[in-house]
Structures are given as C-alpha cells and as structure tokens.
C-alpha cells in the first residue's frame, strides 16, 4: 500500500485514466466490428470517417500504436471500397 498522499492520488488518477482508455478502446473496437458487418455501401461510407477518427484519437493518445491504427484504417478502406 502507498505511504504518501501523492502516491494515493496517483493510484486514483491512474485508475480513472485506465477506465477512460478502456471505454474508448472498447467503443472503437465495437465501431470497427459494426463497420465490418455492414453490407450497404452508403452506410459503410458514412461510418468509415467516424471510425477512422476514433482510431486516430486512440493512436494520438497512445492507447493503441499508430501503426496498428494505420493498418486497421487501410484494411477498412479496402473493405469499404470492395462493398
């Protein structure tokens, strides 16, 4: 257990950040899943920019690696173009 007030505060702050990151990551993964399941071209074209934006934000905040975000965006772009 932590011995200093600042260490206790850091534990609380880290937990809050962990929960926020987990929520954002899970929300983005669900959005990617929905986009992959889409069969209509128009719907996919509307969803794609939103998902790309979510992935960019995760990469910017180092929740996921920037290369992973770029790989996902590339695969999703191919998928949307092929529908």
- Per-residue pLDDT tens digits for 6-49: 999 999 999 999 999 999 999 999 999 999 999 999 999 999 99
What local confidence, expressed as pLDDT, does residue 3 receive?
A: 83
Confidence of residue 1 (pLDDT cuts 50, 70, 90): confident
What local confidence, expressed as pLDDT, does residue 10 receive?
A: 95
- Structurally, the chain folds into a number of domains equal to 1
CATH number at 62 reads: 1.20.58.110
Name the residue range of residue 15's domain. 5-82
> What is the token pair recorded at 79?
């998928």
pTM: 0.85
- Packing angle, helices 41-60 and 66-82, rounded to 10: 180
CA dist., res. 81 & res. 48, Å (int): 11
Helix (H) or strand (E) holding 25: helix 5-37
Nearest to 17 by CA among 54, 63, 53: 63
């Amino acid at each position: 257990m932590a011995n200093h007030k600042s260490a206790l505060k850091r534990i609380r702050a880290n937990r809050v950040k962990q929960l926020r990151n987990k929520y954002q990551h899970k929300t983005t993964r669900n959005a990617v899943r929905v986009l992959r399941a889409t069969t209509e071209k128009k719907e996919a074209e509307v969803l794609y920019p939103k998902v790309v934006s979510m992935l960019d934000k995760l990469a910017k905040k180092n929740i996921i690696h920037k290369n992973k975000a770029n790989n996902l965006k590339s695969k999703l772009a191919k998928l949307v173009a092929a529908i």
